[in-house]
Amino acid sequence: MDIFRVLSRGASLKKSKDIVTDYALPSVKQSLNKDVEKEIDFFRTKKFSNLAKSEQDSQKEEEINQTHAKIEDEHNEPPPPKITNEDEARLLRKSYRANVTGNDIPLPIGSFEDLISRFKLDQQLLTNLIDSGFTEPTPIQSESLPITLFDRDVLACAPTGSGKTLAFIIPLIQQLINSNKQKNSGLRGLIISPTKELAQQIYEECNKLSSKLPLKVAILSKSISSKLKNKIIKKDKYDIIISTPLRLIDLVKNEALDLSKVEHLIFDEADKLFDKNFLEQTDDILTQCKNPRLRKSMFSATIPSNVEEIANQIMQNTIRLIIGHKEAANQQIEQKLTFCGNEEGKLIAIRQLIQEGEFKPPVLIFLQSITRAKALFHELLYDRLNVDVIHAERTQIQRQKIIERFRKGEIWVLICTDVLARGIDFKGVNLVINYDVPNSAQAYVHRIGRTGRGGREGKAVTLYTKEDSIAIKPIVNVMKQSGSNYDEWLDNLTKITKNEKQNIKKGQIKRKDISTVPKVVKQKRKQREDMIRASKRRKQLTNGEEGETNNNDSGSDSE
């Protein structure tokens, strides 16, 4: 399969005409905000949308609500909505703005209980779900659970923090229980994640949901990998494996794992796994999964068109599922752009946020490189902010510990690179700061998606300087699409060309070093350094002159 060719065509971000600015007419703003409000209801605080309904829809909805009200009266508790026909499905989809396309699309589920009647959901699995606090499916779950339980390939795009993990774990567990009944064994479920941190998180979720079920789940940690390599663990011991691509491929090449029986292959953060850094490895995995009954799923909050093309080539009879706008930011997040003039201005902006009480921990701060992340860490250390830094140069154990401490609230401010941009679920993050403008719309959506998760609200501030005039454009587009306010003049930025877009992605913007050291101190430091350098040179010269003096009997001082 020539997925390299498809990939090289470049992505495009869907543009929306919905623009909300400070100067928009109040009526326009209000109606747009209404739209936004409907889209954010991932966790079903409202039953059905009142938005732009036809008379027929209203009538149908009235009937459905009446039936529900009747049952509610009888049982004194809200009934689990059951979707029994296309009309009900259409209304439900409209309420959460789902766009589902493909052949023979199954009806969505209205409740987890719905899965019992329709798919004979394992009772223990349902208990595990409820014990974990999951009582109602989110829209992505309502739609994708039936699709995958019907063994269909799915390409799913839903906002950050909207419950995609359960959307692929629940059907995987259920299907493997069914597969066990047919006396199948060995590795049959594979979940691929671009980072170890995300793999760990998925593993924990999977463990929770498969508790007391006859399934063995593993994450390919260093120790498990070496046990598999040394045959201390048999290669068919586990039913489900969660891994990053490289580690998995390494084991397969060493014949420590066999993917030929895999029945369910899930790519989380699929667009990342199909970008140029991972493509070769992902392709290798696909080649190794030779089971003709293989079901494939791709999940992400951003699916550029080139990844869709790849998906169409590698999947069969796929159902395409989009919740909300494709590649839009999570609507629970308040987005803000702050112009800082220059690099020094960024530190001032952070201190201003602290002064104004907007810097409410836990806070995540993203930077474009390890060097810059380290530099900011050293700057903020003196602000007594209880800060730490995470990046690829830190060991796996260090990274894991920092994440744990951040989750527990022992670290308030976590500075990081894009290593934490994808998938990580920090439930309570209040604020994400893009200290450096991210290099694509997708990177922006994922970074800010670390806040506003699981139905909570969040805030994202992106700091930019005059160096960012090009890089800021894709961010403005995402903000437009999400209905966020931004400065009027940003609307007049010229459209960026494909080349410019590629250049932003390829190269990091050159920025001045991060430092708050006042100019006078810097000047003094420079003077001192100059003096030391000069004195060294003098010494060298003197030594040289001595030699010359010895030879020529002359003794001039060059300085």
446 binds Mg ion (CB under 5 A): no
The item of Mg ion, ligand ADP, none sharing an interface with residue 166, based on CB under 5 to 8 Å by kind, is ligand ADP
Query: Three-class SS of residue 243?
Result: strand
Number of residues that bind Mg ion (CB under 5 A): 2
How far is the C-alpha of 239 from the C-alpha of 214, rounded, in Å? 9
Select the residue interacting with ligand ADP from 95, 128, 160, 306 (CB under 6 A): 160
164 binds ligand ADP (CB under 6 A): yes
**Which residue in 132, 134, 128, 94 sits closest to 111, CA to CA?**
134
**Beta carbon nearer to ligand ADP, 166 or 478:** 166
Select the residue interacting with ligand ADP from 49, 138, 175, 244 (CB under 6 A): 138
The item of Mg ion, ligand ADP, none sharing an interface with residue 452, based on CB under 5 to 8 Å by kind, is none
Query: Three-class SS of residue 225?
Result: helix
- Crossing angle for the helix pair 123-131 and 164-181, nearest 10 degrees? 160
Q: Which stretch binds Mg ion (CB under 5 A): 88-96, 164-172, 388-396, 489-497?
A: 164-172
Q: Which stretch binds ligand ADP (CB under 6 A): 48-56, 163-171, 501-509, 532-540?
A: 163-171
164 binds Mg ion (CB under 5 A): yes
162 binds ligand ADP (CB under 6 A): yes
Number of residues that bind ligand ADP (CB under 6 A): 17
Select the residue interacting with ligand ADP from 3, 6, 149, 166 (CB under 6 A): 166
At residue 82, φ and ψ (nearest 5 deg) are -115, 130
Minimum Å gap between C-beta 197 and ligand ADP is 12
Tokens 């941009």, located at residue = 421
Select the residue interacting with ligand ADP from 161, 324, 361, 452 (CB under 6 A): 161
- Residues 446-475 as x/- pattern, contact with ligand ADP by CB under 6 A: -------xx---------------------
The answer to whether 375 touches 515, Cβ cutoff 8 Å, is: yes
**Beta carbon nearer to ligand ADP, 141 or 243:** 141
Rg (CA), the chain: 28
Q: C-alpha distances in angstroms, 376 versus 447, 460, 514?
A: 18, 18, 6
Minimum Å gap between C-beta 44 and ligand ADP is 9
Query: Two tokens at 430?
Result: 């209040």
How far is the C-alpha of 177 from the C-alpha of 473, rounded, in Å? 48
Select the residue interacting with Mg ion from 423, 452, 458, 474 (CB under 5 A): 423
How far is the C-alpha of 232 from the C-alpha of 322, rounded, in Å? 43
327 binds ligand ADP (CB under 6 A): no
Query: Two tokens at 186?
Result: 């060995």
Half-sphere exposure of 425 (CA within 13 A, CB side): 20
Select the residue interacting with ligand ADP from 106, 108, 110, 137 (CB under 6 A): 137
**Biggest distance spanned by C-alpha atoms of the chain:** 115
Interface contacts to Mg ion, rule CB under 5 A: 164, 423
